[in-house]
Amino acid sequence: MPTESLFSQSDQPIDPGKPPEPVGNIPLTITENSKLTAAYAPYRTYMEQQGKAENTIKAFTGDIRLLRRYFAERNENPSLGKITTEMLNEFLYWLCKERKYEKGKKQGEIIGCSAKSYARRVTSIKSFFGWLFETGVIVSNPAAEVVQRSARAPLPRILTDAEVERLKSTARDLLWSPRKPDARPYLLVTLLLQTGMKKSEVMNLALSDIDFSNPHEPVVTVRYDDPRYAHKERKLYLGPGFTPIYKQYIRKYQPKERLFECSPRNLEYVLSDLAEAAGVKRNHVSFEILRWTSAVRSYRFGMPPEALRLKMGLSPISWRETFDKIKRLASPGL
């Protein structure tokens, strides 16, 4: 969407570097003729490789097991390649209107399905069959046409253009304060708006992860110690304006190994205090809000969707819903 860019010449977003090779290989024994039960373990491994939280993994695999239960109640056991969109829509209807308690006082009663649970289960189905399709196990994706009938989840909050400018202006004033100059707020806000990094990624940044071999184009490398999250590793450009801020920050705080040698809560206070000083609501400025703001700004500036996905460190499956939200947030009037 055309809109006036909030980035100055020095801090406009730049496409990230080449991503690592994709992960998520499956055993050769899984084919379109395999049954649902044969896909449980490799699908779980795939989600672990994608860095999904354990609760998410349990929920998604549980939903696929429910699909198997649905087929079992009908004395059916179709192979992966034989499952159709119609079958999946009938499964979702069963979840809402026909699924019954099997044990306890409510045995035989209809369980029903809340809007939130229904939405999650549609997401589980789309994730599972999207994975099978993208890895070549099935030749077509039956979940692609499944409609999410539940209400859309609320859009995440982002900063308005005016709020971003007030935040940056206030941080800049603190940077050059004659009484007590402090580069940390400006460094933190610049880093988050430029890269869209997660809080955990920011806290994990080592000094050695920032490359100033070209001071006009410093690069930060996002790393993960756990090999399961190797697909999230990426290089992001910071822009020439980052270098002088970084040098002033280093002179004052003198970190030894990590860029921010403090607790995550401490940096949250930095953001909330900065928000208050800038006249922005305190709960409108957080790591998550700045991450979404960064993504929307990059999209508005014209960063290609695939480059933006790599910048945010998201898998293709996770990117689908995220990109839809980014486009909606970038629309005029939002």
Supply the CATH classification number for the domain 161-330.
1.10.443.10
Task: Say what the pLDDT of residue 148 is.
Answer: 65
- What confidence tens digit (pLDDT) does each residue in 146-186 have? 866 544 556 889 999 999 999 999 999 999 998 889 999 99
Q: Which residue has the higher pLDDT, 239 or 148?
A: 239
- 16 falls in which pLDDT band (50, 70, 90)? very low
Chain centre distance of CA 235: 17
Task: Say what the pLDDT of residue 104 is.
Answer: 77
Residues 243, 212 contacting (CB under 8 angstroms): yes
Q: Helix 305-312 crosses helix 287-301 at what angle (to 10 degrees)?
A: 160
Domain boundaries, the chain: 36-134, 161-330
Q: Determine the Cα angle at 90 with ends 128 and 316, to 5°.
A: 20
Q: CB-side exposure of 274: number of CA atoms within 13 Å?
A: 32
- 290 falls in which pLDDT band (50, 70, 90)? very high
pTM of the model: 0.59
Report how far residue 294's alpha carbon sits from residue 303's, in angstroms, rounded to the nearest whole number: 11
In the structure encoding, which two tokens stand for residue 303, read together?
């960063």
Q: Helix 264-278 crosses helix 184-195 at what angle (to 10 degrees)?
A: 100
Q: Return the CATH number of 36-134, one of 3.30.70, 2.80.10, 1.10.150, 1.10.530.
A: 1.10.150
Task: Say what the pLDDT of residue 27 is.
Answer: 57
Task: Say what the pLDDT of residue 273 is.
Answer: 94
Q: Is a pLDDT exceeding 60 seen at residue 317?
A: yes
Q: Which residue has the higher pLDDT, 149 or 70?
A: 70
- 129 falls in which pLDDT band (50, 70, 90)? very high
Residues whose CB is less than 8 angstroms from the CB of residue 305 and which lie 6 or more positions away in sequence, other chains included:
299, 319, 323
Nearest C-alpha neighbor of 4 from the set 300, 315, 310: 300
Report how far residue 125's alpha carbon sits from residue 139's, in angstroms, rounded to the nearest whole number: 16
- What confidence tens digit (pLDDT) does each residue in 192-229 have? 999 999 999 999 999 999 999 988 899 999 999 888 77
Q: Which residue has the higher pLDDT, 122 or 17?
A: 122
Q: Averaged over 77-98, what is the pLDDT?
A: 89
Q: Helix 264-278 crosses helix 287-301 at what angle (to 10 degrees)?
A: 70
In the structure encoding, which two tokens stand for residue 195, read together?
């890269």
